[in-house]
Amino acid sequence: MPFRYLALLLTLACLPLGAALAVPPSRPAPELQMPRIEGGKLALSDYRGKLVVVNFWAPWCLPCREEMPDLQTLHDNHDDTVVIGLTIDYASREQVIGSLEEMGIDYPVVLAETDDAAAFGDFRGLPTTFFVSPQGEVVERHMGMMSKEQMRDYRERILEQGL
């Protein structure tokens, strides 16, 4: 029995940083109404029919800030894909706005709470990204920073498989 635990620990230790960890079989995305940074409310169901990339980040998180320009490119280059940034653990709305302006980010961003993160499922750190299929199902989760190539691969796999 202890050998199985050791084998599991060694397997987990070999995962690359920012590994995609299996999510349970697809499940409906939580229906959250969240305040947009520029005012008004945002609901995930507003984007039904598109792949929605839900990225949890914080202004102080350097890996988050590093991947955000690539998320912006993903958002800008594909009409069938939308990125939504869910900001958690922030000092003020003004801090978030300043960070977004500094990085040139204009995809939808909302001020989220810890409960919003928990509604998506297993959440262990920042950045964490969930992929919601055009049918409104959470189909993938990525913990840690993603490269452009990983973003592309997730998008292609989800849309090609019709998840």
CATH code for position 60: 3.40.30.10
Q: Is residue 36 part of a domain?
A: yes
Nearest to 53 by CA among 100, 18, 86, 26: 86
Percent of residues, the chain, with pLDDT higher than 90: 71
Q: Is residue 60 part of a domain?
A: yes
Within a domain: 3? no
Does 10 fall in a domain? no
pLDDT band for position 25 (cuts 50, 70, 90): low
In whole numbers, what is the pLDDT of the chain averaged over residues? Answer: 86
User: What is the pLDDT at residue 12?
Assistant: 34
153 lies in some domain: yes
User: Which residues face 3 on adjacent strands?
Assistant: none
Confidence class of residue 9 from pLDDT cuts 50, 70 and 90? very low
Rounded mean pLDDT, 42-68:
96
What pLDDT is recorded for position 163?
A: 63
Structural domains counted in the chain: 1
C-alpha torsion 72→59→143→79, nearest 10 = -20
Under the banding of pLDDT at 50, 70 and 90, the label for residue 122 is confident
Q: Given a cut of 60, is residue 160 above it in pLDDT?
A: yes
Instruction: Tell me the pLDDT tens digit for each residue of 86-120.
Output: 999 999 999 999 999 999 999 999 999 878 888 98
27: containing domain = 17-161
Is 2 inside a domain boundary? no
Instruction: Specify if 1 maps to a domain.
Output: no
Q: In what order do the strands lie in the sheet with 51-57?
A: 27-28, 137-143, 128-132, 51-57, 81-87, 109-111
Per-residue pLDDT band at 124 (split at 50, 70, 90): confident
Q: Answer yes or no: is 5 within a domain.
A: no
